[in-house]
Amino acid sequence: MAQYKPGESGNPAGKKVGTLNKRTQLAKLLDPHAEAIINKTVELALAGDINALRLCIDRLIPKAKEDTATIVIPDSKDITNDQMIREMLCQLSGQELQISELKRVVSVVHDRSEFGWV
């Protein structure tokens, strides 16, 4: 038997105002020791600790973000899917694209057909 009716919250009163999530609570606990922890991590990394080194590198070198490319989607009323894909790929010519990016371009055309936007 369900304890609550569908659409009814398991905690109707909700969280108390000002309640911190676990991440914020832990950050507050570590805050007074942050400089010492950072110094120790760097010290271990320089001494050859692989995990400390990886942690430092992960924080110093940001992960690569995807570059964006802008394409103009042709007016879809008087164009076939093949023509649309060809037009969009022409706009992207000369750019390095990964397979996943090409799949996204083709999915635009697929969605167009699936939702009747032809």
Q: What is the pLDDT of residue 86?
A: 83
User: pLDDT value at position 66?
Assistant: 66
Q: What is the mean pLDDT of residues 33-50?
A: 95
Q: What is the DSSP string of 46-91?
A: HTT-HHHHHHHHHHHSPPPPPP----PPPPSTT--HHHHHHHHHHH
The answer to whether residue 59 scores a pLDDT higher than 80 is yes
pLDDT per position as a tens digit, 77-100: 777 878 888 888 888 888 777 788
Looking at residue 2, its pLDDT comes to 59
Report how far residue 45's alpha carbon sits from residue 32's, in angstroms, rounded to the nearest whole number: 22
Q: What pLDDT does residue 67 have? A: 66
What share of the chain in percent tops pLDDT 90? 26
**pLDDT tier at 28 (50, 70, 90 boundaries)?**
very high
Structure tokens at 42: 């760097």
Asked whether the whole model's pTM tops 0.85, one would answer no
